[in-house]
Amino acid sequence: MPFLIALLAGAVSVLAYAPFGQFWLMLPSWGLLYALLCRREIRSGRAFLLGWGWGIGAMFAGLCWLVVALHRYGGMAGWLSVLLILLFSVALALYHGIFAAVFARLRGPLGGTFSGLRPLLAAACWVGVELLRGQLFPSFPWLLIGYTQTPPSPLAGWAPVLGVYGVSFMLVLVTAALVDIVLNRTVWRRALAWVLVPCLISLGLRGVAWTHPVGDPVSVALVQTNVAQDEKWRPELAEEWLRLNLDLVREHPAQITVLPESSLPMLEESLPEGYVDTVREIARLGGGDAILGMFTRDAQGGIYNSVVSFGKSPTQRYSKNHLVPFGEYKPYGFGWFFELANIPMANQTPGGDHQPLLQVAGQQIAMNICYEDVFGEELRRALPQATLMVNVSNLAWYGDSHAQPQHLQMSRMRALESGRPQLRATNTGMTGIVMPDGSVAQVLAPFTRGAVSAQVRGYQGETPFVWWGDYPLKIVCAGLVLWALWQARRKSRS
């Protein structure tokens, strides 16, 4: 029964993310797991199962949209798609199980006099495994609980200081302290401090302008092509997509016109003769530059998922560096998967860590392609030089699902962390503009063809997160866990 309760509590957590946006629901969802782990009879083995159950519920409910990619567009049988996503969720949930086992092992020495410090240990252990999930294979930091706390959450102020992992830390700290108040009234004074202090500081931080606009506004057009995934790669329709890109650049003139990831679903070398010159001339006549998504190849035969700019400025390019496992490269030992699923361009080459910014319309543009927007620590490499952050994506793989609003929510967190506008041009949604305070200034309705046109100013300055990234949080989490280990060692000797 406790395992089932944990499983259901994890599944409820999906309602805290976009598109539902009930950020407060993460408190009872995660808090129930914490309450189960704080029972006296719980040891590491049973705790692992409870954490694993919570993680399975959270991951499967939050990632069930992956079935659309495998079944509808990947050609995999429906039942097999569901089974594989379930197995993927079970594997990802091992991290949640590790959290629960470690916390259950270390919480004992914090009883009695130290019980008010138990929420700190929970936050350190939780963020530790979230960091591992984002850095170890398959590097999948989707559905970090900190993402639920974009504005209007009272904890959103921590994002430009400690990033999304820091928001997770504060969320766990507050939730665990509230549960401790309910479970043990004798520690309510110390526990209440862990509730009030993070929230009050966060509210104060929300009033700080870490960055500032510079220069004159530039006109931008963020284009949504709305090409169905099952039509995008059909050879007989290639000419139609070539013409569509030209028409959209012509219809939406701006100093910076951005089309989505793989808006030209072919290699640059396969473009018709004179096509690039036509794009360049249309962009120039429109008074600026067009940035198009396409695939490029180097002299060694490596294929890249790239964006290339054409227009008044010299031609420039950026190639995706953080590739998606199973979608953009084939992990060792998983050849069988690609025999079951039909995924085009699934053997790409990373573009490299330190690529130059795109210099367009007087702006220093930090490009990132689709999944790269999930890695805030990696996007820091472009800061503080970048004045604008631009993401191009193709989420048509996932149909009309939660993937689009979840990705937009992560872009909101990136805007808070960087103190920069986040401009998004997507194939089917969500195309729009996210301001440095995490608010969504404009967004185009999904599954429509058109563009978000606006005047945008670049930003300069540095948030604390840009200064130090995740390093302070890593030090704090490691220190708290080591301190708890030392307490456990002392207790075992006494």
Structure tokens at 401: 């699902």
Q: Is 38 a catalytic residue?
A: no
**Rounded to an integer, what distance in angstroms lies between the CA atom of residue 29 and that of residue 70?**
29
The total of other beta-carbon atoms located within 10 Å of residue 180's CB is 27
Among candidate residues 38, 130, 232, 320, the one labeled active-site is 320
CB–CB of 1/9 below 8 Å?
no
Indicate if 232 belongs to the active site. Answer: no
Beta strands in 170-324 (DSSP E): 211-224, 256-258, 289-297, 303-311, 316-319
Indicate which residue of 38, 125, 261, 372 is catalytic.
Answer: 261
Tell me if 68 sits within 8 A of 399, measured CB to CB: yes
On whether the CB atoms of residues 358 and 316 are closer than 8 A, the answer is yes
How is residue 299 annotated by DSSP?
A: T
Q: Residue 100: which H helix or E strand, with range?
A: helix 94-107
CA triplet 231, 236, 238: central angle to 5 degrees? 70
- Give backbone dihedrals phi and psi of 288, rounded to 5 degrees, phi first: -165, -140
Distance between CA atoms of residues 66 and 89, nearest Å: 11
Task: Judge contact between 225 and 237, C-beta under 8 A.
Answer: no
Please give the DSSP secondary-structure letter assigned to residue 371: G
Residue 261 is a catalytic residue: yes
DSSP 57-98: HHHHHHHTTHHHIIIIIT---HHHHHHHHHHHHHHHTHHHHH
φ and ψ of 353, to 5 deg: -75, -35
Which residue in 125, 232, 328, 370 is the catalytic one?
370
Q: Tell me if the bond preceding 266 is cis, omega within 30° of 0.
A: no
Which sequence positions are flagged as catalytic? 261, 320, 370
